[in-house]
Amino acid sequence: MPSLTLAEARARADLLQVTDMEVDLDLDQGAEHFGSVTRLHLRASGDGQTFVDVDPVSLHAIRLDGVELDVALQAERRYPLTLTAGDHVVEVEATMAFSHDGEGLHRATDPADGQDYVYGHLFLDAAPTVFACVDQPDLKAPYTMTVRAPQGWSVIGNGRATLVEGVWHLRRTQPLATYFVSVCAGPYASVTAEHDGIRLGLHGRASLRAELERHAPQMLEVTRASFDYFHSIFGIRYPFDDYDQVFAPEFNAGAMENPGCVVFRDSYLFRGAASRSEVLTRSNTISHEMAHMWFGDLVTMRWWDDLWLNESFAEYMAHRCLVAATDFEDAWVDSTATRKAWGYAAERSPSTHPVAGSPAPDARSALANFDGISYAKGAAVIRQLIAYIGDDAFLAGIRDYLGAHAFGNGELADFLAAMERASGRSLADWAQAWLSTAGVDALAVDRATAQLVRTPPAEQPAQRPHALDVATWSGGSLTSRVELTATDDTTPLPGLDTTAPLVVPNAADLTWATGLLDERSLAALTSELPAVTDAQTRAVVWVGLRDQLALGLVDPRLLVDLAEVALPHESDDSVLASVGMHLTGTVVRSYLPAAEEAPARARMAALGERILADAEPGSSRALHAARLVARTTDDVEGRLRPWADGEGLPQGLEDDADLRWVVLGQLARRGLLDADGVAAAREQDRTMAGNLGALTARAAIPTPEAKAQAWASLTTDRSLSNYELVAVASGFWGPADRSLVEPYVARYFEDVPAMAGHLGDSALARVASIAYPSRFGTPETRALSQACLARDDLDPTVRRAVVDQQSQLEEVVRSRARYGA
C-alpha cells in the first residue's frame, strides 16, 4: 500500500484546507470491528483532483455534497475526489477493524478480569484505519467526535467527554493534526484532580486500580510542577482541553502526546517494587509529553523531516523541567546514563542521519528516524545552542516561535529565524554544523601538549563548535576543571592538571561527542572511578566506555573488572541500573568469548550479592542488586528456587510478581521448569504481565520442541499481540547450549522479513530488532545479515532494523577479533 509522499502532501495542501472534522465511532459492534462515520469539511482553492485517506474493512457509502459516489473507486487506502473551488462536505460511512499491533484503534483483553480496552494511536499514518481524513501534519482541523461504547465503559479523548443517552460526546477541539487524534475507551479506573484551572485525570485498567491510586500522588505532583514550569517559560498557557493521562495496555511506545489525552504504556503503573530511576523515567516521560503540548501539538512540524521540532525539544525541556521544578535534580545524569547511550549507538550505525532535515520522501520512511538521534542528540544540540546564544535569547526565541505559529505549523527555517531575531546572531553556519550534518566528533586530551583534540568523522566532516569542560581527578578529588569552547581541531587547556591519573573530556556532559579516555586514564579507572564524587562524571565515563568498547578501543574485560570495584560504591540509581543492564545484556552476553561468559556471569552474580548485602533493605539499591542476582546467579537451590516460591526474598520484594517471572525465566532457561510448570505459574498470575512472563519463560525452555514451538509462534501466529511477540522473542535466544537455537540464525533472515505482510511498522521494527540473533556475534551471522540486506524486496522497516542490529553485531565481531574470541 502506498505511503503519502512529500510531493503529494504539498500538492494537496496547495489545493485544500480542512476546515472541520466530525467523526462518529461505534465501538459497540463486537470485538473485531467498529463503525466509523466521518464528515470532512473541505475548502478547495480551485478546481482539481485530490483524494482522502481511508482504510476500511468495508466502505459502505461515500457522498460529496450529498451526492452518492461509487464506493468501488476506493483502493490502497485512498478515495479519489474531483473538487471545484469552494466549500465541500465529504461524508464517509465505513466498518473498520480493531488492531492488535499497537496502531490505529488497538483493542486488548485484560486476562485478570476479561475486560476489553481500546486506545487510539494514529501515529504515523494509522488515522485512515479509524476514520476518513486528509492525513498529513500540515492540514490541521478542529475535531468534534461522538463515541458509542459498551455499557459500563468510559470514554476519554482530546475534548472533554459527556455521556448523553448512551452516546459520549467529545467537546470540539482546537485544530489538530490527524496523528494527534485519540480515543481511549473501556472500564477504566480513574483518579481526578485540578490544578491552576486545568482538570486533570489519570486512568488505568480496572485491575490496576490499586496501582493507579498508589502512584497517582507522585504522578500528579510531577504533572502540576511541569505545568507551572512550562507556563513560566513559554509565555502561553496550556492551549487545549482537560489534561487526561491514560495508561493503556499493549501501548507500542513509551507514550504519545495526543493533546488533552496523553497515552502511556501501562507498565508505568508499577505493580511491584519500583526503583528511583524507574520513577524518574516515568516522571521524565510525563514532563516530556506535556512539553509536546507546545512543541508538536500547538505548533506542529509541516512535514516529517522536521521531526526534531517535536522530539528534541520535548526531550530537552523535560530534563530541564525535572531539574528546575522537581526533586529529580539528577535528571541530566539519568540522561547521560540512558538516553545518550541510546543516541550514540544510533549515531554509530550506517543509518545515522542529521538532527534536522533528514530526508523523508514519504510518511512511512520518516518512522525510521524516531531514534536516539532525534531525541538524545537533539537535546544535546539544544544545550549547545543555548551555550552559543545564551539562555535569555533562547527563551525569547521560543516564545516568538510559539506565538507566531500557534495552532499552525512550523519548520526549521521558522525556528532559526526566531532564534536569530532573539539573539541578533546568524545561525546559518551553526545550524549547518549541528543540525544539518550527521556524525559525532571524537574528543580526546593530549597530555603532552595540554590540548583538547577534536576529530570529526571522516565521512561526515563538519566544523562543530563544542562548549564543554575537561576535568581531572586523583584519589577522589577534583584537581582541575577547564571550561572552554572548542572551535578548532586543537584547543589549549590552560591550567589543566595533566599529571592527574584520570582525565575526563566533557566531564559535565554538556556536548555531543565521543569522549575518549587516554591510556593512562584507562589504566587508572579501577582505582580512581570508585572514588570520584561527581555522579555526572561517573556517568560520562561509563557511557564513554560503551563507545570505546563498540569502537574496539577497550577490552570488554575491563568493564567487568571495573564493575566489580566501582558498582559497590555507586550511589546514583540510574548509573547503577544502566551499567548493570549493559554488562549482563551486552558485555557478558555478546562481547566476551563464549568460554568466559559463564565465569563473568558468576562474577556479576557475586557482585549483586555484595551490593544486596550492604544495601538498605527495601531501597532502590537493594532492588537493583536483587534483579542483578536474579538475572545472573547459578545458585539454583539457594536463590532461584526459593525466590520462585516466594521464600527468602529481600524486603520489599516479597510480592513482586515481575521479579518472580525473571527468576522463573532463569529456571526455564536452565531446563529446570517445563511447560507445565510455566502454565502453573501462569495460573497464579492471571494478568497481562503474567501472560508476557509466561510467554518469555516458555520460549526459554531448552528443548528442540520448545524452540520450534516458540519460533512458530513468533513468526506465524497472527493472533499474538505486539507485546506478546516481543515477549516470545525476548526468551528465545538464551539457552546455554547454543546448538539448540543456532539453526534459527539463518531462519531469522527468511522468516522475520515475511512478517511485514501482517504486522504494523512500529511493532515490526521492535520485533525484528529483539529477535535478531545478536548472541551469535560471528562473521557467519554477519554474512547472512549482509545477504538479507542485499535483497530488493526487503520491507523498509525490517531493513532499518537489520541495518542497526548488524552494525552492533559488527562491533562485536571487531572486538572479538582484537581481544580474543
Whose cell is 495508561? That residue is: 247
Instruction: Supply 644's cell numbers.
Output: 520462585
Q: Residue 117, SS3? A: strand
**How far is the first Cα of the chain from the last one, in angstroms, to the nearest whole number?**
45
* Peptide bond just before 307 cis, omega within 30 deg: no
Instruction: Decide: 325 and 223 in contact? Cβ < 8 Å.
Output: no
Closest among 112, 206, 117, 196 to 683, alpha carbons compared: 112
Cα 562 to Cα 542: distance, rounded to the nearest angstrom: 10
The pairing of strands 408-410 and 299-301 is parallel
**Distances from the Cα of 367 to the Cα of 186, 543, 698, 796, angstroms:** 29, 26, 32, 10
**Distances from the Cα of 113 to the Cα of 109, 110, 149, 247, 248, angstroms:** 9, 6, 18, 17, 15
Consecutive H or E run containing 445: strand 441-446
Residue 797 CB neighbours (<10 A)? 25
Closest among 515, 381, 542 to 454, alpha carbons compared: 515
Instruction: Supply 730's cell numbers.
Output: 525476548
Cα 130 to Cα 677: distance, rounded to the nearest angstrom: 41
Cα 130 to Cα 136: distance, rounded to the nearest angstrom: 15
Instruction: Supply 430's cell numbers.
Output: 551553526
Instruction: Supply 308's cell numbers.
Output: 526534531
Active site residues: 289
DSSP for 446-463? ETTTTEEEEE--TTS---
Amino acid identity of residue 301, one-letter, is M
DSSP for 491-535? EE-TT--TTSSEEEETTT--S-EEEEPPHHHHHHHHHHGGG---H
DSSP structural state of residue 295: B
Instruction: Decide: 607 and 568 in contact? Cβ < 8 Å.
Output: yes
Whose cell is 480513574? That residue is: 190
Instruction: Decide: 803 and 351 in contact? Cβ < 8 Å.
Output: yes
Cα 361 to Cα 3: distance, rounded to the nearest angstrom: 9
Q: Residue 604, SS3? A: helix
Residue 44: alpha-carbon gap to chain centroid: 38
Instruction: Decide: 411 and 303 in contact? Cβ < 8 Å.
Output: yes
Instruction: Decide: 110 and 688 in contact? Cβ < 8 Å.
Output: yes
DSSP H helix total and E strand total for the chain: 28, 28
| Class of residue 436 by CB neighbours under 10 A (exposed 0-12, middle 13-18, buried 19+) | middle
| Class of residue 162 by CB neighbours under 10 A (exposed 0-12, middle 13-18, buried 19+) | exposed
